[in-house]
């Protein structure tokens, strides 16, 4: 059985690796690799948000009745990070190293804080609340396009 903590925690690490690769390409002024790397990161992070918002959060909320608690905070933070993703996209398009690296630093801090909250609190709560349906929830997350 795969837990939500394992599945989504591993996906956090995947997104982090893509983020670092894109940032490294920008720092080296390699805009072809930066554009490709950023697009991979962008798609991976939005996919991660979709798995949570379309599958895991609703399952957790349905089971626990908590709709204004941790999932509401996570959705709000997803929205903040999506805004920064759009700014990073714009910086890549304009090939603006300073704008990219500045917004990337902000996004990195937000992602780190967000991931800790999810991994240390929400995912563990979800694993407990959804213990009888973990395989189904993880399978549904894997099926998110």
Counted domains in the chain: 1
The confidence score (pLDDT) of residue 105 equals 97
Are the C-beta atoms of 126 and 4 separated by less than 8 Å?
yes
- Whole-prediction pTM value? 0.95
pLDDT tier at 137, thresholds 50, 70, 90: very high
Given this model, what pLDDT does residue 67 score?
Answer: 84
List the one residue out of 42, 19, 43, 23 whose CA is nearest residue 31: 23
Kindly report the CATH number assigned to the domain that includes residue 84. Answer: 1.20.120.520
What pLDDT does residue 1 have? 76
Instruction: Tell me the residue range of the domain where 124 lies.
Output: 4-142
How confident is residue 11, by pLDDT bands cut at 50, 70 and 90? very high
**pLDDT tens per residue, range 84-136:** 999 999 999 999 999 999 999 999 999 999 999 999 999 999 999 999 999 99
């Amino acid at each position: 059985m795969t837990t939500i903590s394992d599945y989504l925690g591993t996906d956090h690490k995947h997104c982090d690796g893509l983020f670092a690769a894109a940032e490294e390409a920008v720092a080296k002024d390699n805009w072809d690799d930066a554009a490709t790397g950023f697009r991979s990161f962008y798609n991976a992070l939005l996919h991660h948000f979709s798995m949570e918002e379309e599958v895991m959060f609703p399952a957790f909320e349905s089971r626990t009745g908590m709709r204004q608690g941790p999932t509401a905070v996570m959705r709000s933070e997803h929205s903040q990070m999506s805004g920064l993703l759009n700014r990073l996209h714009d910086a890549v398009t304009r090939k603006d190293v300073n704008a990219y690296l500045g917004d990337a630093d902000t996004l990195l801090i937000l992602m780190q804080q967000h991931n800790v909250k999810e991994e240390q609190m929400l995912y563990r709560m979800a694993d407990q609340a959804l213990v009888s349906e973990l395989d189904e929830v993880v399978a549904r997350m894997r099926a998110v396009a």
